[in-house]
Each structure stands twice: as C-alpha cells, then as structure tokens.
Structure 1
Amino acid sequence: MPAPDSGGISVVDNICRLSPDLFADACQHILSYLQGQTSGVDAAEISDRFLRAGVRLDHDALQDMIRFLLLTFRSAGKSNVSADGLVSQLEEGNPGWSSSSLQVLHRFWSEQGAVVHAQQEAQALLSVGQLVDLQWKLGMAVSSDACRSLNSPYVTLLLKIARPSGEIIQRAFELTVPQFQNFHRQFKEMAAVMETV
C-alpha cells in the first residue's frame, strides 16, 4: 500500500518521525471515529498535540496522514484483515516503515480491529441511498389485458438513487392520482419538518 507524498516527504516518513506515544494518540483519534464513538477526526486537536510534543507538520501533511490512516483502517476493517496481515501489507507497500510505528499499528489493530470491522458491517447494513433525481409524468391507460377500468389517469415516477457504493440505480413505479397526491402531501410535510431542524 504505497503512501502518498506531501511536499516530497511521504506520509510514512512523517508517521515514522512521531514518537510511538504520539502516533498511538493519532491512531486512537481515528479509530474512535471509525468505531462510531466520535462524529469526526479533529485535525486541529491532533495538530495541537503534535505541536506540544515539538513535532511540526504543515496542514497538508497532517491531512494526508489522517486520510492515509483512515483509508488504511477502513480498508482493513472491510477486508477483516488481521493485525499481522495489516502490518505485512503496509511493509510490502513501503519498506520505509519504522518497527515502532508498525508495532503501534499492530497493537491498536489487534485490540480494536474487530470493533471497526463490526461497525463497518453495521454501517453497510444501515446505509441508504441518496435521491439524485425524481421525474414524473402523467399518463392514461387506454388498453390492458388485466385492467377493467381503462381511461383512468396514473402517474409514473422515475427515481435515480445513488447507493453508498457510488452506483446510481433507477427505480420506476406507477401511482394512481390519489396515491400521487398523498405522496406529494407527505413530501411537503417532510420539507416543512426539515426546515425547522
């Protein structure tokens, strides 16, 4: 797993500059987020701790480090990789890792990897798509093998939904005019509620 460069210095080089305790602190911030214990990774707090310890990283280098660790832990969580497997993958991707940094990663992943994996599985089950587009058209049934009441209007809805994976799917369905009016009323109620939030 190659590390991106930040101003000529790789993320791995920046990580290896940190003391094991400082690196462990950064890992804990990220793992707490991935376990659902915090709402995000506070880069400013991590930066303050680095500065108090005498380590200066520019904003981009710190963001690269956080992104790299998030990606590494997320990927390991999705794949349910063991701590030994994670360390092996990292060493294969970049031989510049220090043994102390790899030991910190091994220890944290041994202790918390299963929780990250479980959290990611739960998020995958609970994740819903985002409505990208909604189109509708009014039609009239003029012939049918199964329907007795012809010449009745209907509304066709076409929804485009972006799944959490990024894939966009389309779903189409038909409603009677009263069903569509109820659908419209419910959308207006949701919009009114969302404006108060």
Structure 2
Amino acid sequence: MRMPAAEGSQGVNKVVDSICRLSTDLVAEACQHVLSYLQGQTSGVDSAEISASFQRSDVTLEHEDLQNIIRFLLLTFRAAGKSNLSGDDLVSKLEEDSNEWSKGTLQVVHRLWSEHGAVVRSQQELQTTLSINQLVDMQWKLGMAVSSDTCRSLNSPYVSLRLKILEPSGQISYKSFEMTVPQFQNFHKQFKEMAALMETV
C-alpha cells in the first residue's frame, strides 16, 4: 500500500511537518474528527470547527495547511482501512514514506488506529461505490442591491444564499451566491417539487 503522496515526497514531508508541529493532543483531536467521520458518526470533517479548536489552544494554521492535514489524514486512514493494516503496519508505512514523523505523533496515530481501525474498515464495506455531494445546510437572507451584475436597477431586492456541502472526500465546503427575487422564487418552487417527488419514492 502506498500512502498519500500529494505533490510527491516533498508534498508529503511538508504536510507531515505541519502535523508534527502540533501538540499530540491537537493531533489526536484532528485524527478523532477524521475517524469519527470515517466511522459514520458525523456527516463530515468540518475544518472550521477544527480551526476554532486549534485557536482556543493558541495555534493558528493557514487555511490551506489545515485542509492539507485533513486531506492527508482522510487519505491515510482510508488507505489503511482498505489495506486492512494494523496499527504497527500503518506506522511502518508512514515511516517509509517520510522521515519527518515525530515519535509522539506516530504513537497517537498508532493508538487511535488500533482503537478505531476495525470500525472504519467495516464502515467502508457498507459504503456504496457511488458518492455525490450532499447539501448539509442552507442559509439565506434578503437584502437590497446597491450594485450588482444581475440586477439591472439599483435598490432591487435580492436573496443571498450560503450552502454547506459535504463532498465525497468527507470535507465540508461552503458555496455562496446571490439571486434576484424571481430567481429565488423559481429555485424554491423547484425544491418543493423535488421534495414532493422524493416522498413518492
């Protein structure tokens, strides 16, 4: 089994370095978020929640660095589950792919995988091969346009939408956009039609 290699070994070493700069408690917390998702206990891995937790411990990471850590942990634990690795096997594979790992970080990964690996493997077996994005939450607000590409006249009402989306990778992303009121009314009508149709399935 080959562990995730984003941009080759240099990319892996960069992510490993970011992980090893964290305290073992924060590494354990990040791993727990990922493992909870992979065990089907949560609907996704929310990077904003992890970032807020890190900030409470006076640790600030760039958004991209945190995303890379989450992606790496997701790929690592998924690959370990698919290959049916033990805790010892997983640590060996991680050490083969990077010499940047600290002993304390590897001990955390070993302990958590030994505790949760079997459940992750069984959850993977239950998952279907087809994965699509899922809408987790939608927020909207009504505003008045001062300037807009879509509203021809100023002082026109508009609706601002913010969608929370669960991607197949397990990461949660946010999409924001604006609609005119007639566009939103049509959007709402289509949602109602979809909901009615789904009730008949």
1:44 — aligned with what? 48
Pair 1:2–1:74, CA change in 2 (3 A): closer
Of 122, 127, 137, the residue aligned with 2:126 is 122
1:84 — aligned with what? 88
1:10 partner SS: helix
Moved over 6 A (4+): 5-9
Of 110, 113, 133, the residue aligned with 2:114 is 110
CA contact under 8 A between 1:84 and 1:106: conserved in structure 2? yes
What TM-score do the two structures reach when normalised by structure 2?
0.61
Q: How many Å apart are 1:52 and its aligned residue?
A: 1.3
CA deviation map 1:2-32 (0-9, x unaligned): 6547999711011001111111011000000
Pair 1:128–1:96, CA change in 2 (3 A): closer
Gaps of 5+ in 1: 131-163, 165-188
Of 31, 34, 37, the residue aligned with 1:33 is 37
Gaps of 5+ in 2: 133-167, 169-192
Q: Between Structure 1 and Structure 2, whose CA radius of gyration is higher?
A: 1
Paired residues, number: 138
CA deviation map 1:63-109 (0-9, x unaligned): 00000000000010111111100000000000110000000000000
RMSD of aligned alpha carbons: 3.1
Pair 1:92–1:2, CA change in 2 (3 A): farther
1:38 partner SS: coil
Percent identity over paired residues: 66
2:165 — aligned with what? none
CA contact under 8 A between 1:3 and 1:11: conserved in structure 2? no
Q: How many Å apart are 1:37 and its aligned residue?
A: 0.3
CA deviation map 1:129-186 (0-9, x unaligned): 88xxxxxxxxxxxxxxxxxxxxxxxxxxxxxxxxx9xxxxxxxxxxxxxxxxxxxxxx
2:77 — aligned with what? 73
Residue 63, structure 1, aligned to residue 61, structure 2: no
In 2, the alpha carbon distance for the partners of 1:104 and 1:8 equals 18
What TM-score do the two structures reach when normalised by structure 1?
0.62
1:171 — aligned with what? none
Alignment of 1:1-197 (within 5 A): 1=3, 4=6, 10-123=14-127, 126-127=128-129, 193-194=197-198
Pair 1:128–1:19, CA change in 2 (3 A): closer
Compare relative contact order (CA 8 Å, sep 6+) and give the higher one, 1 or 2.
2
